[in-house]
Amino acid sequence: MYRTHDCNSLRKGDIGKEVMLAGWVNVTRDHGGVIFIDLRDREGLTQVVFRPEENARLAKQAHTLRGEDVMQVSGRVAARPPGTENPNLATGEIEIIPSELTILNRADDLPFPIDAEPQNEDLRMTQRYFDLRRPHLARNLRLRHRVANATRDFLDSQGFVEVETPILSKSTPEGARDFLVPSRLMPGKFYALPQAPQQYKQLLMVAGVEKYFQIAKCFRDEDLRADRQPEFTQIDIEASFVTPDDIFKVTEGMLAAIFKATRNIEIKTPFDRLTYREAVSRYGSDKPDRRFEMELVDLGEIFRESSFKVFRSALDAGGVVKAINAKGFAGITIGQADELTEIAKLYGAKGLAFIKIENG
């Protein structure tokens, strides 16, 4: 046995216990010959203190340790001296007084510090096992795991059946190019990696499965964009005898369950709904960020009989006149207004007019 506890589980109530821990050396500190080591595993940190007056042999051995060495330690849980507690650490009230130390592996010089953001993205990818030791990336992996679990638990509670569909399949018309895999048994023939499990889930509906889901791998040979990559994972759902409102309800419930399970955040359902026309009319986008409160206001009826020809001609030609109430913005300069006009033209507007209201 390598350990009796992880590095995030020991508390004040464990003082006096004999324990065994294993993990990586996160930080070493030498304070007048006393060696302090923060031992790290995936759960957290525990401080181990080597005092020469208590065990000179172990203190000498600990003096050779450096960051990312792998070690195993046995010892007694003790309270930290008054005034040295760390309230920012779950194990900040205790420390380990070691009786045995085993160095399991020595670390070579690291390509980059674990506690710093690497400047070279290629280096991060080639040294991914070091990159994934960084706390926020490790948390991301755990978060993804909890999201997948919450998804499965919720959809199972709604009667959905998880079915794994084939990865090697026949090429069919899709929205992008297929990734092709040559067949060794049939020279000149190729499998295609699925862009989505579309045909398989339709077969399942015909077969009477009725409610299917899968956390599915999908592959699309297309140009990279900020929201696209060749390989991605999607929550794939298909159901029989349902209306669009039924699917909305399932999706809303699933998202609420995910936020509750992973962040303990209560999400109000049902979600507010906008038609496409309403979204574009109010926000100028079919996927608006509704935290942006400066909505577009239609002034067509107000200016339809206006003597201002620019507005009237736009309305007579079937166009629209819309405004944004930019509060506190009346002090902009003419140059700034001209810059905003050019930006508006880039996105299809014929022009940009300003009405300033000052002192009320």
- Output the pLDDT for position 360: 60
- Output the pLDDT for position 126: 92
Q: Is the peptide bond before 288 cis (omega within 30 degrees of 0)?
A: no
* Portion of the chain with pLDDT greater than 70, in percent: 99
Q: Where are the domains of the chain?
A: 12-105, 164-236, 276-346
User: Which CATH number is associated with domain 12-105?
Assistant: 2.40.50.140
pTM, full prediction = 0.82
- Output the pLDDT for position 333: 87
- Angle, nearest 10°, between helix axes 244-263 and 135-157? 140
- Output the pLDDT for position 308: 81
- End-to-end alpha-carbon separation of the chain, Å? 75
State which H helix or E strand residue 61 sits in: helix 56-62
CA separation for the pair 284, 277 (Å, rounded): 10
Over residues 113-124, the mean pLDDT reads 85
**Mean pLDDT, the chain, integer:** 93
Class of domain 276-346: alpha beta
Instruction: Please report where in the chains the tokens 């166009």 appear, as a residue.
Output: 319
Which residues lie across from 231 on neighbouring strands?
Answer: 219
Q: Coil, strand or helix: which one is 233?
A: strand
